[in-house]
Amino acid sequence: MAHQQPKLDLSPKVSDEVKKTTCYMCACRCGINVHLKDGKVAYIEGNRDHPVNQGVLCAKGSAGIMQVNAPSRLRAPLKRVGERGSGEFEEISWDEALDIAAGWLKPIRDEDPSKLAFFTGRDQSQSFTSMWAQSFGTPNYAAHGGFCSVNMAAAGIYTMGGAFWEFGQPDWDRTKLFMLFGVAEDHDSNPIKMGIGKIKAKGAKVIGVNPIRTGYNAVADEWVGITPGTDGLFILALIHELFKSGKIDLDYLAHYTNASVLVNEADGPEKGLFLRTTDGAPMVIDRKSGEAKPWDCPGIEPHLGGTLTVDGVTHRTVFQMMLEEFLDPKNAAEAVEGKVGIPAARIKAIAAELARVAFEEEFELPTPWTDFRGRKHKTMKGRPVSMHAMRGISAHANGFQTCRALHTLQIILGTVEVPGGFRFKPPYPKPSEAHPKPHCKVTPGAPLDGPHLGFTHGPDDLCLKDDGTPARIDKAFTWENPMSSHGMMHMVISNAHAGDPYKIDTLFMYMANMSWNSTMNTRGVIDMLTDKDDNGDYVIPRIIYSDAYSSEMVAYADLILPDTTYLERHDCISLLDRPICEADAAADAIRWPVIEPDRDVKGFQSMLCELGAKLDLPGFVNEDGSQKYADYGDYITNHIRRPGVGPLAGWRGNGDGQGRGEANPEQLQRYIDNGGFWIKHIPEGSNYYKPWNPDYQDWAVETGLYDKPQHYLFQLYVEPMRKFQLAAEGVGDRQPPDHLRERIKNTLTPLPIWYDPSVDNRGDEFTVTALTQRPMAMYHSWGSQNAWLRQIHGQNPLFVPTKIWEENGFAEGDWAKVSSPHGDITVPVAHMAALNENTVWTWNAIGKRKGAWALKPDAPEATKGFLLNHLIHELLPPKGDGLRWANSDPVTGQAAWFDLKVRVEKAKAPNEAQPAFPSIKSPVGTGPDELRVKTDQDA
């Protein structure tokens, strides 16, 4: 047949209209263009103008259309009519649903607001939900940070006023060496991929430190397949080698960190505390005059090396304490190589490469600036080394100190907030003192005395009742974990069930799949949720749950308040919360209803506006008692947090206000007209050295980020930790219980250290570490029922390294029994060579329960998919002392997911992955047998 070709229409209509909003297929908040035909979603692509993703979009984002059409969407409020866990519900009206909720909550508020535990999971509206909880008066509020990555966030804020991801980013345009630790292929999703692509195109090097070589680590130029849980030791070895060779930035340390601050050396109640002026300012020695001066005194040259005797008490600098700690031979490459699983020569080579790039590739931007002490700089010095890390290093019981060590490494190289290094994004940098302290004072019928979550600076800030018992149900901010800045969501159900520290009445949760993948000890938690007391009443009396989808948690609630999908709602990605800023700009964004729900559902936050009014919560009612905010969009527009500052920073007042100004009724429309976001750039000269740059500080105040300039020093030595240690040594009135004294002394050291979490997890008997990673094309439970994404990740074998594969004689198609001190599972295995030899891993949250997510009961997620959660207990194995020791970091309480130690042995293939759970009855049925989706065809 001769060549012939039909005439094609090469310019078909793409859509009727494009609406620009913010993605919510994961937590990264990219801008999206939603193409609509006949009012239906036809196609979703990235928004080119958006600061986060600049047009690109990941697999999850592009699959959003299947989430919006998902058969698992809940359709109406549900009231439980069978036993908990049976999935027997009846649909009710919103009026009835909110009457039930108010009927439960009103008496609690009047008598004892702490009987409500309100935890909001992967909530992006925490500045709103926390206000609601504060207004209700319960101390029991947090989102999911405690079981996610609080170690990273808190260590960053205590050390340098910010951490990674939302807090900051590498200087992608200038960095030449990028070191990535333990990133599970998301957080930050698109920006990290864009950045890696960009720097590789310029010939920069990427070092990936991760036991698993997938994703970002697969494209890293250098892979360091570290033993899990030893990142801190590896980093301390790098610090040791750099100190030993003098490859540290002395000028930077002296001027911008507390390395020059003087510390009391005398035994007694002040030991280890800073020498302060009568006004409380930490003091340094001025090298020029030799005199002690406040740290921020203009014109001084802070000295790293001196000592000072005041009233017979010797003080020496933090820097000298660092020398002692970091030069200790225990941190030498040769001393740690066995534990970390990296040869000493390689550790030294990496240290040498860090030093070479930081100091020999030093460069200057021709931008003059003057620092807060009045020192004039003709240029901005750059050091092109940057780093990024997330949960991989933080979800360990030594994670806080490991994250501290990583920040210390960046700081001694002089690479933070400098050109080529790691840069903060507004509203960061922000020192820990500029954050609230936690509050827990409960008054019946009245709001809590302040924000729930914050940063403790010593024993006085702990959330303890007068009798010394924990004020919060999750025991956050107690001696067990004094610096638990994000709360401890993973302990709520366990503690509520145990009545430890007290019993609650109502558990109210949002977007948290606590009876499945979002909890440790899944089987145990299911039992706790359904357990009854001797009277036949549920031990946790009432459970309210809000979710957009038929997740595993739905069956365990008494009242379901169905949420919308992300294209049907208002949201604000707020500067008061977790905004979308870039290192060179402040920015925030909205979601808005680009389609209307076709179900009887309400956005969770809009529902809270209504419920808050029903409960007469201050801030949610007008003076005449009527409902204050019609819905969340109304709140976003009209709520005033501080004078002139509200949830959104753009187009305030008459529309010209940027950051500050009165509420503007046109504000949401202005955001919509601008593509769903607002951005204000930081002027050149203000955009580096931010903590010490008065021009930036003035810009931040003008933009409403805070109300007065707040210069500060990086805290290599965290004095609040020393205060907790002092209490453990017996100083002060507020004293820890005796069984915690040694642990506090050993783990709350003011300089970063490493300790081995495997000891508490019986690592001598269970010698293999088991990890999870989140795939790039799937996020938590949200994505797993997505018809397109589940064709990419519908199963999750246990990936086994060559050594364990051969030891067990595994072959393709085999199954293994995996045991931990807590339990065992039987699961399919697959071989993977690019893996640390003592590590096994699987994809997170692919395993589903039969009956959930509108999947058919024989879906592979339910028959072959599995959770490692069954092997992880919220408590450590019993130590024989009768105490409940949380499987958490002793500093922050972060869930130690990645301390899981296991044994792997070949097993006979069962019919399905074990443990198998009975099917739960679906409130939404199951999905269709075939999809042929095209808007103009099914119209």
Partner 1 sequence: MTQLPSQTEKKLGLVIDLDTCVGCHACVVSCKGWNTENYGAPLSDQDPYGADPSGTFLNRVHSYEITPSEGAAQLIHFPKSCLHCEDAPCVTVCPTGASYKRLEDGIVLVNESSCIGCGLCAWACPYGAREMDQAEGVMKKCTLCVDRIYNENLPEEDRVPACVRTCPAGARHFGDLGDETSDVSKLVAERGGMDLMPEQGTKPVNKYLPPRPKDETFDVLAPFLEPVAAEPKGFLGWLDKTLERL
Site residues for partner 1, 603-642, by CB under 8 A, read: none
Please report how close the Cβ of residue 546 comes to partner 1 at its closest, in angstroms.
Answer: 23
Q: Which is nearer to partner 1, 57 or 608 (CB)?
A: 57
480: Cβ–Cβ under 8 A, 6 or more apart, which residues?
740, 886, 888, 890, 893
Q: Is 223 in the site for partner 1 (CB under 8 A)?
A: yes
Q: With contact defined as beta carbons under 8 Å apart, do 280 and 274 qualify?
A: no
Please report how close the Cβ of residue 6 comes to partner 1 at its closest, in angstroms.
Answer: 5
Please report how close the Cβ of residue 836 comes to partner 1 at its closest, in angstroms.
Answer: 10
DSSP notation for 45-107: EE-TT-TTTTT---HHHHTHHHHHT-TTB--S-EEE-SSTTS--EEE--HHHHHHHHHHHHHH
Please report how close the Cβ of residue 841 comes to partner 1 at its closest, in angstroms.
Answer: 13
Tokens of 32: 């999206």
Please report how close the Cβ of residue 475 comes to partner 1 at its closest, in angstroms.
Answer: 39
Please tell me the distance from the alpha carbon of residue 491 to that of residue 934, in angstroms, as a whole number: 45
Q: Which is nearer to partner 1, 89 or 243 (CB)?
A: 243
Q: Which is nearer to partner 1, 45 or 371 (CB)?
A: 45
Q: With contact defined as beta carbons under 8 Å apart, do 700 and 686 qualify?
A: no
Please report how close the Cβ of residue 196 comes to partner 1 at its closest, in angstroms.
Answer: 6
Q: Is 792 in the site for partner 1 (CB under 8 A)?
A: yes
Please tell me the distance from the alpha carbon of residue 691 to that of residue 318, in angstroms, as a whole number: 20
Please tell me the distance from the alpha carbon of residue 141 to that of residue 99, in angstroms, as a whole number: 22
Applying CB under 8 A, among 387, 525, 800, 854 the residue interacting with partner 1 is 854
Residues 79-138 binding partner 1 (CB under 8 A) are none
Tokens of 59: 């697999």
Rounded to the nearest 10°, the torsion over CA 217, 218, 223, 225 is: 70
Q: Which is nearer to partner 1, 379 or 622 (CB)?
A: 379
Applying CB under 8 A, among 75, 339, 346, 441 the residue interacting with partner 1 is 346
Applying CB under 8 A, among 855, 872, 876, 896 the residue interacting with partner 1 is 855
Stretch that binds partner 1, among 58-66, 227-235, 437-445, 536-544 (CB under 8 A): 58-66
Please tell me the distance from the alpha carbon of residue 652 to that of residue 664, in angstroms, as a whole number: 5
Stretch that binds partner 1, among 214-222, 367-375, 508-516, 621-629 (CB under 8 A): 214-222
Please report how close the Cβ of residue 244 comes to partner 1 at its closest, in angstroms.
Answer: 5
Q: What are phi and psi of 132, to 5 degrees?
A: -60, -45
Q: Which is nearer to partner 1, 321 or 540 (CB)?
A: 321
Applying CB under 8 A, among 323, 335, 498, 916 the residue interacting with partner 1 is 323
Q: Name beta bridge partners: 294.
A: 283
Stretch that binds partner 1, among 360-368, 374-382, 654-662, 853-861 (CB under 8 A): 853-861
Stretch that binds partner 1, among 105-113, 127-135, 626-634, 781-789 (CB under 8 A): 781-789
Applying CB under 8 A, among 24, 136, 181, 243 the residue interacting with partner 1 is 243
Would you give the binding string for partner 1 spanning residues 264-303, x where CB under 8 A is met?
-----------------------x---------------x
Applying CB under 8 A, among 82, 107, 197, 268 the residue interacting with partner 1 is 197
Applying CB under 8 A, among 49, 127, 266, 320 the residue interacting with partner 1 is 320
Q: Which is nearer to partner 1, 281 or 344 (CB)?
A: 344
Please tell me the distance from the alpha carbon of residue 489 to that of residue 141, in angstroms, as a whole number: 9
Stretch that binds partner 1, among 292-300, 346-354, 424-432, 805-813 (CB under 8 A): 346-354
Q: Is 218 in the site for partner 1 (CB under 8 A)?
A: yes
Q: Is 803 in the site for partner 1 (CB under 8 A)?
A: no
SS3 486: coil
Applying CB under 8 A, among 76, 92, 194, 335 the residue interacting with partner 1 is 194
885: Cβ–Cβ under 8 A, 6 or more apart, which residues?
760, 875, 876, 879
Please report how close the Cβ of residue 204 comes to partner 1 at its closest, in angstroms.
Answer: 11
Would you give the binding string for partner 1 spanning residues 916-935, x where CB under 8 A is met?
----------xxxxxxxxxx
Ramachandran quadrant class, 346 (left: phi over 0; alpha: psi -120 to 50; beta: rest): alpha
Identify the CA nearest to 121 among candidates 508, 552, 511: 511
Would you give the binding string for partner 1 spanning residues 860-879, x where CB under 8 A is met?
x--x----------------
Task: Give start and end residues of each alpha helix (H) in 831-912.
Answer: 860-863
Please report how close the Cβ of residue 212 comes to partner 1 at its closest, in angstroms.
Answer: 9
Strands in 444-596 per DSSP E: 506-510, 542-546, 559-560, 571-573, 585-591
Size of the site for partner 1 (CB under 8 A): 112
Please report how close the Cβ of residue 835 comes to partner 1 at its closest, in angstroms.
Answer: 8
Q: What are the distances in angstroms from CA 903 to CA 756, 870, 888?
A: 19, 14, 21
Applying CB under 8 A, among 313, 352, 446, 539 the residue interacting with partner 1 is 352
Please tell me the distance from the alpha carbon of residue 657 to that of residue 651, in angstroms, as a whole number: 5
Q: Which is nearer to partner 1, 81 or 931 (CB)?
A: 931
Q: Is 14 in the site for partner 1 (CB under 8 A)?
A: yes
Applying CB under 8 A, among 366, 858, 881, 911 the residue interacting with partner 1 is 858
Please report how close the Cβ of residue 571 comes to partner 1 at its closest, in angstroms.
Answer: 23
Q: Is 246 in the site for partner 1 (CB under 8 A)?
A: yes
> Buried (b) or exposed (e) across 775-808, using 16+ Cβ within 10 A?
bbbbbbbbbbbbbbbbeebbbbbbbbbeebbeeb
Residues 815-834 binding partner 1 (CB under 8 A) are 832-834
Please report how close the Cβ of residue 636 comes to partner 1 at its closest, in angstroms.
Answer: 29
Applying CB under 8 A, among 621, 777, 816, 900 the residue interacting with partner 1 is 777
Strands in 721-823 per DSSP E: 768-773, 798-800, 815-819
Applying CB under 8 A, among 76, 92, 219, 297 the residue interacting with partner 1 is 219
Stretch that binds partner 1, among 120-128, 220-228, 432-440, 574-582 (CB under 8 A): 220-228
Strands in 390-445 per DSSP E: 422-424
First vs last Cα of the chain: how many Å apart? 39
Please report how close the Cβ of residue 44 comes to partner 1 at its closest, in angstroms.
Answer: 7
Stretch that binds partner 1, among 134-142, 216-224, 491-499, 704-712 (CB under 8 A): 216-224
H or E element: which one contains 701? helix 694-702
SS3 490: helix
Sign of the dihedral through C-alpha 124, 130, 136, 139 = positive
Applying CB under 8 A, among 215, 420, 659, 847 the residue interacting with partner 1 is 215
Please report how close the Cβ of residue 296 comes to partner 1 at its closest, in angstroms.
Answer: 21
Please report how close the Cβ of residue 725 comes to partner 1 at its closest, in angstroms.
Answer: 21
75: Cβ–Cβ under 8 A, 6 or more apart, which residues?
91, 562, 599, 600, 601, 924
Residues 134-163 binding partner 1 (CB under 8 A) are none
SS3 694: helix
Amino acid in position 315: H
98: Cβ–Cβ under 8 A, 6 or more apart, which residues?
607, 610, 611, 614
Please report how close the Cβ of residue 24 comes to partner 1 at its closest, in angstroms.
Answer: 16
Q: Which is nearer to partner 1, 196 or 262 (CB)?
A: 196
Residues 15-54 binding partner 1 (CB under 8 A) are 42-46, 48, 53
Name residue, tokens 């509108």: 854
Q: What are the distances in angstroms from CA 596 to CA 567, 603, 732?
A: 8, 11, 59
